[in-house]
Structure formats: structure tokens, C-alpha cells
């Protein structure tokens, strides 16, 4: 029996989907790339848009903010933390090698997404980001290059 097939007599129920944006990236990363222009955690969704900008949406309220810190195409995004109702850490790197970190949180009443820009680094060839999993402080970010 196929593990993904619905049992006989059961109707297949598609998951509920709610469109939040029309996403069209500036330039597609190479097929062999492990990088991502989309990132999600329990509380937020982030995606790269033209000009090195990043849109962040709060998943509970659909409020949003725009992060500006890069001037070139985003090559990877990664969230650390971000449980519903809590702040999340977001890391981003662009084709020029700039790595930015951000803290995003939903404002009181869910009417805005507040953000704070954190430390930045210039890392030539940075293409993949990953936060250490789990709630243990301090947060640690791994950066892989070409």
C-alpha cells in the first residue's frame, strides 16, 4: 500500500491554503544550490524581493514589514526561534557577501511587525545559513560558503 494514498472509501482532503502574496524572485538560484529565498518559522514567513529587500509577514495576523539592508540579490534566508507570539531571529545574505541579522516581533495588538537590525558581516561567498536549533541561548548561526 502506498503510504501517501488515501484509504479506500476516504476522500482526499487537500490542505487549506491561503495565498498571502504573488511571489516572483529576481533571479532563480542555480538548481544545485541549497540556498533559499523563502524562510518560515512558527510565527513568521519571510521572502526575498527585488533589490535585496526582504518582506516579513506575521503568520497569525498577516501584518508585514519590509527589511532593507542589502543592495544585491538575496541568496539565503534562515529563521532561528520564532514560536508564535515570540520574537524571531532572521539571518540573510546577499550575492555581494553581506550577511545581516534581524530580530522581528509582532507588535502589541498584532497591528505591526517590528524589526531591529542586528550585527552585520561581510563574508565573501556566503551561500547557506542555519541557526542552531533549540531554545538554548546564546543563538548561534552557521555560515557555509562556496
pLDDT, residue 76, reads 92
- CA-closest candidate to residue 21, choices 41, 42, 51, 48: 48
State percent of the chain over pLDDT 70: 75
Q: Is the pLDDT of residue 14 over 80?
A: no
Sheet with 38-40, side-by-side order of all strands: 38-40, 44-49, 53-58, 64-67
pTM: 0.77
Better-predicted residue by pLDDT, 16 or 58: 58
pLDDT tens digits, one per residue of 81-108: 777 678 899 999 998 889 999 999 988 7
Amino acid at each position: 500500500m502506498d503510504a501517501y494514498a488515501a484509504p479506500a472509501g476516504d476522500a482526499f482532503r487537500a490542505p487549506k491554503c491561503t495565498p498571502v502574496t504573488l511571489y516572483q524572485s529576481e533571479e532563480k538560484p542555480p538548481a544545485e544550490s541549497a540556498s533559499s529565498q523563502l524562510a518560515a518559522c512558527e510565527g513568521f514567513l519571510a521572502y526575498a524581493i527585488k533589490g535585496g529587500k526582504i518582506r516579513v509577514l506575521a503568520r497569525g495576523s498577516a501584518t508585514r514589514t519590509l527589511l532593507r539592508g542589502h543592495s544585491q540579490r538575496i541568496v539565503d534566508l534562515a529563521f532561528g526561534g520564532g514560536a508564535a507570539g515570540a520574537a524571531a531571529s532572521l539571518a540573510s545574505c546577499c550575492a555581494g557577501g553581506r550577511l545581516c541579522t534581524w530580530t522581528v516581533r509582532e507588535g502589541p495588538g498584532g497591528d505591526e511587525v517590528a524589526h531591529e537590525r542586528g550585527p552585520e558581516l561581510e563574508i565573501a561567498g556566503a551561500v547557506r545559513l542555519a541557526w542552531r536549533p533549540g531554545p538554548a541561548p546564546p543563538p548561534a548561526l552557521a555560515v557555509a560558503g562556496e
